[in-house]
Amino acid sequence: MIYKTFQDMRLSALGLGAMRLPVTDGEYAVIDEAETGRMVAYAMEHGINYYDTAWGYHDGCSEVVLGKALSRYPRESFFLADKFPGYDLSNMDKAEMIFEEQLKRCGVEYFDFYLFHNVCEMNIDAYLDKKYGIFEYLMRQKQSGRIHHLGFSAHGSYGVMKRFLEAYGEQMEFCQIQLNYLDWSFQDAEKKAELLEEYQIPVWVMEPLRGGKLAALSREDTKRLKQLRADEETPAWAFRFLQSIPSVTVTLSGMSNLKQLQDNIRTFETERPLDRQEFDTLMEIADGMVKKSILPCTGCRYCTSHCPQQLDIPSLLSLYNEHRFTEGGFIAPMVLMAVSEEKRPDACIGCRSCEAVCPQQIKISEAMSDFNRRLRA
Ligand code: SF4
Ligand code: SF4
């Protein structure tokens, strides 16, 4: 196992994310405890010392089952991370109750790492609102030793991350973002990583395989990669990409069975960062994957002044692209919750005034209507 230095600690470069644990009868909330126990045992034996859970994973059962599996080991032999569930605004005034319950669920006296979960458009105002005092409460837990290291995770835009960092950046010790070779440009991950570097905040990675999208590529792309490294399997390329980014410290992978865990551990036995040609090839592959399924909006904004509904068309198309490419997911619905109702895609009246001026000839009205359909599905 490769280890990374974080302050005075050695963290395994691969962390076990407990959001997709094996389940029984296909029920998300019914975790297979025996299999999870075997996975944690294997992970511990093979050097993984970082374990990540959250209030909402497996409808609250992840904290309990992971805590139980880890209770077989000395407390100082692993690092446990948990998160404040601010992705649900109704939790904002319950920081103390939730934190106490999390310690109980996990069966621990302290968390090594604790995060503001998913800083994004929908919750940034509440996270910064002194009325709720989340930051102040968490800082008090840190002072009393019940949180050792405080950080945040973010699915929000670059602008949202910047706002959060301007407020709390000095106290944030780490940040978890969605980072992989596909999102390097598609979701501005490169810019976000640069922003964190300005604050000297190391990066924790989530979704290294983009929900499995990077675990298998087209035959043509696979062949291109095999020509560069005959012995590297397709999923390993995603990890080699991350090994090429110096600020990446822990890479979290939500593993659902022993085989995935074994494969990932094998990849993290060696550090084989990409050379320039390999990096560029991955970027070309990512570009090709994205271009195949998204609308080519360049953000020129010629259309916006022609919209009688004053919709922010390029922003909505960017969300549409994300939603279509991901084949659903929570990001677009989450961002749209922060957009006023009269500016959402269903406010489009289909007049097509925008299309007359779009240099990319995008069928914007069709896209808005398809977006609505997908959001309601
Ligand atoms: S078709 Fe929709 S997005 Fe385009 S100008 Fe008309 S209302 Fe605006
Ligand atoms: S005019 Fe076309 S390319 Fe330009 S921002 Fe509008 S939709 Fe995008």
The C-alpha atoms of residue 344 and residue 317 are separated, in whole angstroms, by 11
Reduce the DSSP state of residue 294 to 3 states and report it: coil
The C-alpha atoms of residue 26 and residue 28 are separated, in whole angstroms, by 6
Instruction: Report residues whose beta carbon is within 6 angstroms of any ligand 1 atom.
Output: 306-309, 311, 313, 348-354, 364-365, 368
Reduce the DSSP state of residue 184 to 3 states and report it: helix
φ, ψ (nearest 5 deg) of residue 374? -65, -40
Tell me, in angstroms, the distance from the centre of ligand 1 to residue 314's CA: 11
DSSP per residue over 206-239, as a string? E-TTTTTTTTS--HHHHHHHHHH-TT--HHHHHH
The C-alpha atoms of residue 234 and residue 82 are separated, in whole angstroms, by 30
50-71 burial by CB neighbour count: b if 16+ within 10 A, else e? bbbbbbbbbeebbbbbbbbbbe
**Protein residue with least CA distance to atom 2, ligand 2:** 358
Straight-line distance from the first to the last Cα atom of the chain, in angstroms, rounded to the nearest whole number: 43
pTM: 0.85
Tell me, in angstroms, the distance from the centre of ligand 2 to residue 303's CA: 6
Q: pLDDT 10s per residue in the chain (377 long)?
A: 999 999 999 999 999 999 999 999 888 889 999 999 999 999 999 999 999 999 999 999 999 999 999 999 999 999 999 999 998 899 999 999 999 999 999 999 999 999 999 998 889 999 999 999 999 999 999 999 999 999 999 988 899 999 999 999 999 999 999 999 999 988 889 999 999 999 999 999 998 988 788 988 999 999 999 999 999 999 999 999 999 999 999 999 888 999 989 999 998 999 999 999 999 999 999 999 888 878 888 888 989 999 999 999 999 999 999 898 888 888 899 899 989 999 999 999 999 999 988 878 899 999 999 999 999 98
Contacts of 373 (CB under 8 A, 6+ apart): none
| DSSP at 339 | S
